[in-house]
A and B are shown apart, each in its own frame.
Chain A
Amino acid sequence: GQQVMQIPQYQHVQEGEDFTTYCNSSTTLSNIQWYKQRPGGHPVFLIQLVKSGEVKKQKRLTFQFGEAKKNSSLHITATQTTDVGTYFCAGYTINDYKLSFGAGTTVTVRA
Chain B
Amino acid sequence: DSGVTQTPKHLITATGQRVTLRCSPRSGDLSVYWYQQSLDQGLQFLIQYYNGEERAKGNILERFSAQQFPDLHSELNLSSLELGDSALYFCASSVLTSGAFTDTQYFGPGTRLTVL
**A interface with B by C-beta (< 8 Å):** 6, 30-31, 33, 35, 41-45, 48, 50, 88, 90, 92, 94-104
Contact = CB atoms under 8 A, between A and B. Distances in A.
Contacts of A94: 101
Contacts of A99: 33, 45, 103, 105
Interface string B42-72: 1101001000000110100000000000000
Contacts of A101: 35, 42-43, 45
A30 B92 CA distance: 20
Given A31-B102, A50-B102, A98-B48, A43 B43 contact: yes
Contact of A43 (B41, B45, B107): B107
A37 to B, nearest CB: 8
Interface residues on B, range: 20 to 34
B50 to A, nearest CB: 8
Contacts of A92: 101-102
Contacts of A41: 109
B33 to A, nearest CB: 8
Given A33-B104, A101-B42, A42 B48 contact: no
Interface string B22-34: 0000000000010
B1 to A, nearest CB: 10
Contacts of A88: 42-43
B10 to A, nearest CB: 13
Given A30-B101, A94-B101, A104 B42 contact: yes
Interface string B81-116: 000000000101000000001111111111000000
A95 B101 CA distance: 8
Contacts of B41: 103
Contacts of B109: 41-42
Contact of A96 (B35, B101, B105): B101
A45 B104 contact: yes
Contacts of B108: 42
A103 B42 contact: yes
